[in-house]
Structure 1
């Protein structure tokens, strides 16, 4: 058998740069501060509890990731804060996707804490009082910057700011985050500018309402032809309920009433824009906006999953009846935060309620098709400068162009 050849790697004998001017790894990351920031109260009481170290490290990691999410969120809000150019949507997508990936890490991080048993946690839990995750300033700022409304919060000690006592710096940051336009508000304004909603132009909303009426009428005729009476009535009743559901978006008054009750979040026009983008997501100009809407739902979903995993962990550690270390009802309070009231982009989740078959979606007019194929910088993907039109043929989906 041939002897293995030993390869010489000259790079391993290269000159070391330890003496080069500048900061080293530990200095750049300020590891002397970070790695000494774990203060074990059980150790100070001469009753060192092994798992307290894990508890501290995990929550410090959460706070560092919260800081990064807020950093990304603020930059996205800055971009949305001006009239958004299509060329900027790629940067928004990149940063939203980064937030999504970080949230996935946070969801999985709960499992690390679950390697600690309830008895292990009980050994040092009393040292935590009155500290509580409810006092995480960064998480409250994150919620506000996303768009969680104060009226939708589960009431705790009258107002969630009470836990920060007289900490003026914290209270000022919270007030500032409440008064600045949230991501939800900025996205709403962006959706209201969706091309194709203008009545004097393509008038998507008018065409969409006619398409829905046509679909429901055809289904009604099919139901009336049903020979079995009980099945006929069932289908007719179901159609009537569906007609009422559609009416809730076609009637601006009903939509506003739902908005006032907190059952909807977006304005009527923004809601229309979201539906339009969803229907025509394959058009070049709407492809990235559709991805943005999906990532916003991903953020809501992952925060809900994180809350849910946290709830299960708390129930596992302290049961369903013990109070939290900060004085809340513990598991009961946390479970109450899992409802849709904490979903910022709940309207996007509900868009599926109002979808119609592809064959009923109004076809684009030549002018609208041209607008949706237009690249904002006038340069097509192949680098050819011109009017930016796709040059695609308009496919006939069975609808006449003059449906209004």
Structure 2
């Protein structure tokens, strides 16, 4: 099988064989240990190369899926007919990430002593130089201002190729998945004042719920228990104020503790509370998949940190010049979680007995779409 100057493949009349279709000859020829070319091959370097090449192939697939989802979301109105496709592709990313988490254990079959036999040949190479992983972070929505600097440098300074630098800068400028999810959530049915006005109703029922809990606390006969109960209610009031008061919410965004706009947070909370309504089924699964993606990337980072600790200890420098284990450990904080707001939604969930009842009009809107609504969202 051949390809033209633009890399477009041509199919021979007799069709392609397995190896030709998958281009196995060029693919497999990429596995070439450095120690082999030096005439003193280290057995485990082969595993090291294969594992990291496999990561890069899966990163390529994740980027392919994320780009397709971002394209579907990057519209004025997201067609409801695309929600199953979006859910399916995000779930595929989740399954790939599970595979990548498990793949670390294969690399750990290599002992620290075996790794030391070829580690010196890696410098200044480092996983930090993975262009695709940086693109993945940016396209998900990791904020530059929340990143931990690589040594004393901004992460982009590690790259030298102008084409790569431009590619990374472009990924920073494009709407991230987090940006697009927020736009989509801000249009959640029921947030509009002329419609169900979920937010006002939610604030009213929460206020009534907390007033009721405070009355119960004050009626408690045991002074120590009463004081504890009253303090618990006061703390709940303060907690709910962080979402009811937009100024407080925006302050938390400035401090990096939240990511979503106030309106997007309202949409996410409404979907979570009314997830049993047919029209919110798929959106709820989307939110769940986003949390799974965040969790699995954090788990992958954690497994990687533990593997590095096992291989080089806690005080050796990384091959690329970073602080090694110490730097990697700093990437495990919530500052790298893109959808941290979704994890925090559980703080603000209320039991069904307090949930505002949907109006007949809203109930119908969340049950089925009229032809007019469907056409409006195309």
Q: 1:161 maps to which residue?
A: 156
Q: 1:79 maps to which residue?
A: 72
Query: What TM-score, normalized by structure 2, do the two folds share?
Result: 0.94
- 2:28 matches 1:35: yes
Q: 2:5 maps to which residue?
A: none
Alpha-carbon distance in structure 2 between the residues aligned to 1:334 and 1:262: 20
Q: How far does residue 375 in structure 1 lie from its aligned partner after superposition?
A: 3.1
Q: Identify which of 98, 104, 107 aligns with 1:104.
A: 98
Alpha-carbon distance in structure 1 between the residues aligned to 2:369 and 2:92: 25
Q: 2:51 maps to which residue?
A: 58
Q: Identify which of 208, 214, 235 aligns with 1:214.
A: 208
Query: SS at 1:338's partner residue?
Result: coil
Q: 2:265 maps to which residue?
A: 271
How many residue pairs match? The answer is: 361
Alpha-carbon distance in structure 1 between the residues aligned to 2:71 and 2:281: 22
Change (3 A) 1:379 1:200: closer
- 2:188 matches 1:194: yes
Q: Identify which of 173, 178, 184 aligns with 1:179.
A: 173
Query: What TM-score, normalized by structure 1, do the two folds share?
Result: 0.88
Query: SS at 1:287's partner residue?
Result: helix
Q: 1:393 maps to which residue?
A: none
Q: How far does residue 20 in structure 1 lie from its aligned partner after superposition?
A: 7.3
Within-5 A mapping of 1:352-367: 352-367=346-361
Q: 1:385 maps to which residue?
A: none
Contact 1:86 1:376 in 2 (8 A): no
Q: 1:341 maps to which residue?
A: 335
Q: Write out per-residue CA displacement over residues 273-306 of structure 1, whole angstroms, 9 at most, x where no aligned residue.
A: 0000001100011010000000000000000000
Q: How far does residue 377 in structure 1 lie from its aligned partner after superposition?
A: 5.4
Q: 1:13 maps to which residue?
A: none
Q: 1:203 maps to which residue?
A: 197
Q: How far does residue 262 in structure 1 lie from its aligned partner after superposition?
A: 1.2
Query: SS at 2:190's partner residue?
Result: coil
Alpha-carbon distance in structure 2 between the residues aligned to 1:44 and 1:169: 30
Query: SS at 1:116's partner residue?
Result: coil
Q: How far does residue 200 in structure 1 lie from its aligned partner after superposition?
A: 2.2
- 2:345 matches 1:351: yes
Q: Write out per-residue CA displacement over residues 48-100 of structure 1, whole angstroms, 9 at most, x where no aligned residue.
A: 10000000000000000000000000000000001211111000011001100
The ranges of structure 1 where at least 4 consecutive aligned residues each deviate by more than 2 angstroms after the TM superposition are 375-380
Alpha-carbon distance in structure 2 between the residues aligned to 1:213 and 1:374: 31
* Higher RCO, Cα 8 Å, sep 6+: 2
Q: Write out per-residue CA displacement over residues 121-179 of structure 1, whole angstroms, 9 at most, x where no aligned residue.
A: 001000100000000000000000000010010011320011112x0111011011000
Q: How far does residue 374 in structure 1 lie from its aligned partner after superposition?
A: 1.6
- 2:41 matches 1:48: yes
Query: SS at 2:353's partner residue?
Result: helix
- 2:145 matches 1:151: yes
Contact 1:196 1:203 in 2 (8 A): yes
Contact 1:264 1:346 in 2 (8 A): yes
Contact 1:85 1:376 in 2 (8 A): no
Q: 1:318 maps to which residue?
A: 312
Q: 1:289 maps to which residue?
A: 283
Within-5 A mapping of 1:12-27: 21-27=14-20
Q: Write out per-residue CA displacement over residues 165-205 of structure 1, whole angstroms, 9 at most, x where no aligned residue.
A: 2x011101101100000000000000000010112221111
Q: Write out per-residue CA displacement over residues 338-388 of structure 1, whole angstroms, 9 at most, x where no aligned residue.
A: 0000000000000000011110000100010011012365899xxxxxxxx
Computed over aligned residues only, the root mean square deviation of the Cα atoms, in angstroms, reads 1.4
Alpha-carbon distance in structure 2 between the residues aligned to 1:101 and 1:217: 44
Q: 1:369 maps to which residue?
A: 363
Query: SS at 2:106's partner residue?
Result: helix
Alpha-carbon distance in structure 1 between the residues aligned to 2:153 and 2:321: 13
- Larger CA Rg, structure 1 vs 2: 1
Alpha-carbon distance in structure 2 between the residues aligned to 1:52 and 1:375: 57
Q: 1:15 maps to which residue?
A: none
Any stretches of 5+ residues in structure 1 without a counterpart? 1-18, 381-404
Any stretches of 5+ residues in structure 2 without a counterpart? 1-11
